[in-house]
Amino acid sequence: MKIVACHVALLRVPLRTPFRTALREVDSVADVVVTLQADDGRLGYGEAPPTAAITGETLGSITAAITQHIAPRVIGEDAADLNRVVGLIQTSMVGNHSAKAAVDIALHDLWAQHHGAPLYRLLGGGCAQLTTNLTISVNAIDTMVDDALDALARGYTALKIKIGKDTDDDVARVRAIHAAVGDRAVLRLDANQGWTAKQAVRAIRRLEDAGVPMDLVEQPVKASDLDGLGYVTRHVATPIMADESAFGPHEVLDVIRRGAADIINIKLMKAGGIAHALRIADIAGMHGVPCMMGCMLESSVSVAAAAHVAAARSQVITRVDLDGPSLCAFDPVDGGVHFDESRIALPDTPGLGIRAIRGLEPF
Ligand code: MG
């Protein structure tokens, strides 16, 4: 199954409502979609979002990395020779993890189609049904409470609340949401690097003392501040999760060895694709550290791939934050993983199961 061509296109999907975190505000998905074509006519799909604030990658950098550095390494290679081609992608250039992830996902899609089975089954089996939380953007308190109640009405039982602005306001936001939601939903907080270590300990303890149960607090401090992350982890009872501090297998191993976090958030766009995401899950599993499977603002092409990884490593990946498709105004993908609010159903079709992607625009 020789790879004969690699195409890139732009996929634009408006969001239902603007997505706001401590780092950025976005109102639509505008991602790079990669199509790898095999000599038997099969197509493998992948996707990468420009998340400059987190991975440093833009639409321009992703397309240039793929067309000038990564595609020339994989064209002419046999997709059935998976580990070899993954190695060629990973060594094509330094960094550019999302660009690598897009091609790695398309490669895995082709590889699984070649073997005639759903990707998650070939990666280790697992459950074909997942349940995701929903992100509540950081806003005025009343808006966040309304959004949380709306999420409950839509069937979500876990909320990921974006905070990380002013700690007093953040504590008030979470207390108000807890008062409105009660025990009807699990609360996960994501500060997106917005606090110092001492601010984080103070804010989390105030919430603990107020009796607000928190499933976890994600990335309270700057990505590079592993000492600060470890300080928070040791000084609060609530589990702390590393996101921006934990990109690939090496960074994750460092976080775990230093005891800097209790949980790891795996994202294909940080890891550089499926192969490295699996490696992260296996490293974490070896150390008894649970993981969440997360995503950036992505459509159901690359989030489908993340769902396959979560299903294949469900013993370690105990939490799922794959709400990208739920935040989109419509699903541009025919076939593939079915996203229905909190419910994610993996198909029985080979590979990712994607038949077509509507609305692809040439660059
Ligand atoms: Mg995060």
Domain shared by 262 and 136, yes or no: yes
- Asked if the model's pLDDT at residue 125 lies above 90, the reply is no
Q: Of 115, 146, 178, which one is at a domain's C-terminal end?
A: 115
Q: Once rounded to an integer, what is the mean pLDDT over residues 75-90?
A: 98
Domain shared by 219 and 84, yes or no: no
In a domain, 253, yes or no: yes
In a domain, 363, yes or no: no
Confidence of residue 343 (pLDDT cuts 50, 70, 90): very high
Q: Which residues contact 166 (CB under 8 A, 6 or more apart)?
A: none
How remote is the CA of residue 214 from the centroid of ligand 1, in Å?
Answer: 15
Domain shared by 136 and 275, yes or no: yes
pLDDT tens per residue, range 238-252: 999 999 999 999 999
Q: Which residues contact 177 (CB under 8 A, 6 or more apart)?
A: 136, 144, 145, 148, 159, 161, 187
Domain shared by 29 and 152, yes or no: no
pLDDT of 62 reads 98
- Asked if the model's pLDDT at residue 230 lies above 90, the reply is yes
Q: Which amino acid is at 253?
A: L
pLDDT of 146 reads 97
More confident position, 288 or 27:
288
165 is catalytic: no
Q: Of 93, 115, 137, which one is at a domain's C-terminal end?
A: 115
Domain shared by 105 and 229, yes or no: no
Q: What residues form DSSP beta bridges with 115? A: none
How remote is the CA of residue 209 from the centroid of ligand 1, in Å?
Answer: 24
Q: Which of 160, 162, 222, 270 is catalytic?
A: 162
- Domain residue limits at 288: 121-357
User: Coil, strand, or helix at residue 92?
Assistant: coil
Domain shared by 102 and 72, yes or no: yes
240 contacts 89 by C-beta, under 8 angstroms? no
199 contacts 167 by C-beta, under 8 angstroms? yes
pLDDT tens per residue, range 144-164: 999 999 999 999 999 999 999
160 is catalytic: no
Calpha distance 289→281 (Å, rounded) = 9
Count Cα atoms within 13 angstroms, Cβ side, for 266: 38
- Asked if the model's pLDDT at residue 193 lies above 90, the reply is yes
Domain shared by 88 and 147, yes or no: no
pLDDT of 20 reads 86
More confident position, 55 or 18:
55
Confidence of residue 17 (pLDDT cuts 50, 70, 90): confident
CATH of the domain at 321: 3.20.20.120
In a domain, 326, yes or no: yes
How remote is the CA of residue 192 from the centroid of ligand 1, in Å?
Answer: 6
Average pLDDT, the chain: 96
- Asked if the model's pLDDT at residue 359 lies above 90, the reply is yes
The number of distinct structural domains making up the chain is 2
pLDDT of 21 reads 83
Confidence of residue 18 (pLDDT cuts 50, 70, 90): confident
How remote is the CA of residue 219 from the centroid of ligand 1, in Å?
Answer: 6
Task: Give, in order, the Cα–Cα distances in Å from 298 to each of 32, 94, 202, 312.
Answer: 10, 23, 33, 20
- Asked if the model's pLDDT at residue 25 lies above 90, the reply is no
How remote is the CA of residue 208 from the centroid of ligand 1, in Å?
Answer: 21
In a domain, 362, yes or no: no
Confidence of residue 279 (pLDDT cuts 50, 70, 90): very high
Confidence of residue 184 (pLDDT cuts 50, 70, 90): very high
pLDDT of 48 reads 98
Domain shared by 214 and 237, yes or no: yes
In a domain, 170, yes or no: yes
- Asked if the model's pLDDT at residue 126 lies above 90, the reply is no
Largest CA distance in the chain: 62
pLDDT tens per residue, range 40-71: 999 999 999 999 999 999 999 999 999 999 99
Q: Of 79, 99, 115, which one is at a domain's C-terminal end?
A: 115
99 contacts 57 by C-beta, under 8 angstroms? yes
Q: What residues form DSSP beta bridges with 333? A: 357
- pLDDT above 70 coverage of the chain, percent: 100
Calpha distance 225→52 (Å, rounded) = 19
pLDDT of 165 reads 87
Calpha distance 171→51 (Å, rounded) = 27
In a domain, 292, yes or no: yes
Domain shared by 76 and 210, yes or no: no
Q: How many CB atoms are closer than 10 A to CB 254?
A: 14
Q: How many CB atoms are closer than 10 A to CB 74?
A: 21
**Chain-centre distance for alpha carbon 284:** 17
pLDDT of 255 reads 98
Domain shared by 100 and 131, yes or no: no
pLDDT of 19 reads 85
CATH of the domain at 55: 3.30.390.10
How remote is the CA of residue 43 from the centroid of ligand 1, in Å?
Answer: 31
pLDDT of 256 reads 98
126 contacts 313 by C-beta, under 8 angstroms? yes
Query: Is the model's pTM score more than 0.95?
Result: yes
Domain shared by 57 and 154, yes or no: no
Calpha distance 64→71 (Å, rounded) = 10
Confidence of residue 117 (pLDDT cuts 50, 70, 90): very high
Confidence of residue 24 (pLDDT cuts 50, 70, 90): confident
Low-confidence winner among 26-30, 86-90, 237-241 (lowest mean pLDDT) = 26-30
More confident position, 68 or 16:
68
Q: Which of 100, 160, 267, 270 is catalytic?
A: 267
Calpha distance 306→309 (Å, rounded) = 5
Q: Once rounded to an integer, what is the mean pLDDT over residues 275-294?
A: 98
In a domain, 333, yes or no: yes
pLDDT of 55 reads 95
Domain shared by 106 and 225, yes or no: no
In a domain, 208, yes or no: yes
